Chain A
């Protein structure tokens, strides 16, 4: 394939989620063979090859809404891949959405297709981290009685994690803070809000917090059977990258 032919099949978008969805929507409407199309993020250079598709929030919303309604499971794969914020996933996502639109939800089982496999396995990794944080996130009680949890996940999963805790810890005020991305979510017993933080000072914990932490550490130490000690298994189930905010491990 020569360069000209290559550029003809290349589209660009501005790097935002909405931009990505706008471009996918455009390609699905205007291209006859989306499987031959490549989609990449716009580069900073003045002249970059490929056709740039401007972001159109209306089209993006429309696409995601129709897709979620008809194919809820596939929409979850799509969303999780977006949370992964991984470069180079645009083309597999485009092809995946196209395949689902053409063949239906059952495409999830077509694991031998490289793009389906790429999307599914990335979505699975993100899903696994979401699941891990449902268990590993630790809340601490502040002086005013509200709770704060800090985390540094690999993927940008503050949204699904926060939504989970609105159902679980519904009757307490809490914050979840993604330290790496400076993102924060807040639950006030009725509504969930997301935002970004400019600066962060660790607030004072309540007196009760210190007591409960000591109790938890004690429990953690004594629930383990000394004759079965197996740190390798412990680390493989609970990788050390998550230990920083675990009370029982710090």
Chain B
């Protein structure tokens, strides 16, 4: 098969992996060399679904011996099967990189024959890129669950990020939908990666020349809406992963029904709004000092789809508000709806120069349409509504909903099968 045809198949089946980040690693090949990775990451294009294209995201092979119900590449699905040759993929990566189409390579694969055989070929590609082509661009590599630890260890030495997809939020769902994978084959390499990444960081603090191991950390992905777990279960799982596995990111991928299988729910559209709210809640876990039990509880196990999780939390906790922006400490500022990490930092530094006013807040970047109900400036509330959460809720919806309604409408128009 020609490279062009292979690319069609193998890009088409890799697209359900949500991660495309190219950040978190700095790498340089030295003078007059090919490639370097920049800390902040760079997007090179945006595909028709609006997602950023940063890496050449392909599978090495879609010729899978597993039969996971949610997956487009499962063995029982009658699709065309193909695999890249090692050199073919190396050449493709280099020729895209030289034209600045991409930031690097995202390499995943279906299980070709068995996990070790697949992983060996994948490592072969990145080894060749790094050692023969002296390629210093970004590489993100997936671990095939069940492959040997030596291979995972070697992958970490070549790639900027190595990751294992957790796929489904619970062991029982995994047993049901992906019978050939089990929880342990996913968590074991994840724990190994977490520990090795941590050790390598400590080692490099002592000796900056020590080898780097997956310097951009590890991430994972789970599919949302293919199994019955609540948002609270999902967030608890993510929180646990962040705390114990040294994880940089959890990606949530709204389930796109690609097949009818009586084990799977019937969905008209992928649950995009739920995915969006989960990402917001995930942000609260990582950067805003929240924990999962604050965002949701057993009484409210699902995120409110109409307003963002931080505003929902604020409405349940009127006792925290109003927050006086001229006095409150950083951690408290972060809890105010409409104030993000950047604007909280700016508030802290700007109030050293002058007392903050509502106009000043706008310049700083505070989203006043949300923040106004929760803040005070030098002892004075901006809106005196703190004791009436239901009224604030209605006003927030009115302020937010204009643009949101239209996006929801647009989404409903693009039903699968109608295009």
Question: Which residues in A have some Cβ–Cβ distance to B below 8 Å?
Answer: 106, 109-113, 117, 131, 134-141, 147, 149, 165, 167-172, 189-190, 208, 212, 214-216, 218-220, 222-234, 236-238, 246-249
Contacts and interface: CB of A to CB of B under 8 A. Distances in A.
B47 A223 contact: yes
Nearest to B267: A227
B43 A237 contact: yes
Nearest to B48: A224
24 contacts: A112-B353, A112-B363, A134-B38, A147-B98, A168-B35, A168-B36, A169-B34, A169-B98, A190-B32, A215-B92, A216-B96, A218-B8, A218-B11, A219-B7, A219-B56, A219-B58, A222-B7, A226-B419, A228-B50, A228-B51, A230-B50, A232-B407, A234-B50, A237-B52
Contacts of B46: 233-234, 237-238
Interface centre among A111, A117, A147, A223 (most CB of B within 10 A): A223
B349 A222 contact: no
A141 B363 contact: no
A131 B56 contact: no
Interface string B386-419: 0000000000000000000001001100101001
B335 to A, nearest CB: 22
B100 A222 contact: no
Given A112-B359, A219-B56, A248-B45, 10 more contacts: A147-B99, A170-B34, A218-B8, A223-B57, A224-B15, A225-B51, A227-B416, A234-B49, A238-B45, A247-B101
A131 B42 contact: yes
A215 B42 contact: no
Contacts of B11: 218-219, 222-223
Given A131-B42, A223-B11, A227-B270, A109 B349 contact: yes
A233 B50 contact: yes
B289 interface: no
Interface in B1-59: 3-4, 7-8, 11-12, 14-16, 28-29, 31-36, 38, 40, 42-54, 56-58
Given A227-B269, A231-B50, A169 B56 contact: no
A247 B29 CA distance: 27
Contact of A212 (B12, B99, B411): B99
Given A109-B352, A135-B42, A223-B15, A167 B99 contact: no
A223 B12 CA distance: 5
B364 interface: yes
A131 to B, nearest CB: 7
B199 interface: no
A170 B31 contact: yes
Contacts of B349: 106, 109
A209 to B, nearest CB: 8
A174 B414 CA distance: 42
B101 A111 contact: no
A120 to B, nearest CB: 9
The 10 closest A-B pairs by CB, nearest first: A233-B50, A109-B349, A224-B47, A112-B360, A230-B50, A228-B49, A222-B12, A224-B48, A222-B11, A135-B44
Contact of B49 (A136, A141, A224, A248): A224
A141 B419 CA distance: 36
A233 B414 CA distance: 14
- Chain B residues touching A, range: 35 or more
B377 interface: no
Contacts of B96: 212, 215-216, 219
Contacts of B51: 224-225, 228
Contacts of B36: 167-168
B256 interface: yes
Interface in B320-352: 346, 349-350, 352
A111 B4 CA distance: 51
B53 A223 contact: yes
Contacts of A219: 7, 11, 56, 58, 96
B50 A226 contact: no
Contacts of A236: 50
A106 B353 CA distance: 10
A104 to B, nearest CB: 12
B95 interface: yes
A11 to B, nearest CB: 27
B32 A139 contact: no
Contact of B50 (A106, A117, A237, A249): A237
A228 B349 CA distance: 41
B356 interface: yes
A111 B44 CA distance: 31
Contacts of B356: 112
B272 interface: yes
A228 B256 contact: yes
A187 B315 CA distance: 57
A29 B92 CA distance: 58
B357 interface: yes
A137 B43 CA distance: 11
Contacts of A141: 98-99
A247 B44 CA distance: 12
A65 to B, nearest CB: 25
B380 to A, nearest CB: 18
A223 B14 contact: yes
Contacts of B49: 224-226, 228-230, 233-234
B7 A218 contact: yes
Contacts of B40: 131
Contact of B33 (A170, A215, A230): A170
B55 to A, nearest CB: 10
A60 B99 CA distance: 38
Given A109-B352, A224-B49, A149 B100 contact: yes
Nearest to A103: B353
A165 B100 CA distance: 9
Contacts of A215: 3-4, 7, 92, 95-96
